[in-house]
Structure 1
């Protein structure tokens, strides 16, 4: 498969390769040069915060939680 480098130096990884290799949007890839070749390696372990971002489902909005905490502080 071939791809073209954009003016910004970006490339598009063809969809069949992304699907087969399990590369998702925002997946971190390490870029290496090996023997005059460009090699992309999937990074399985990223920032721990990135891995859990959005996992918790809150019953209340963030604004509601902040208001409740402020109210609790004023009552103490």
Structure 2
């Protein structure tokens, strides 16, 4: 269990960081899955899933690139 600070921040437990391969400085996102549950993953993992799950990788990447870049890659 973790606590949420007044600034709505949490410390990701070591075991979770290890299981999700989260390193210091990584960008992470919360994604709502098809079951309605939230998942925490790195941006790299999200990109890999988008590519794997896409029927047309090129269109998915070109359609997603502008907003993805604006939100997550700085």
Where relative contact order (Cα < 8 A, 6+ residues apart) is larger, the structure is: 2
Structure having the larger proportion of residues in helix: 2
TM-score between both structures, scaled by the size of structure 1: 0.47
TM-score between both structures, scaled by the size of structure 2: 0.48
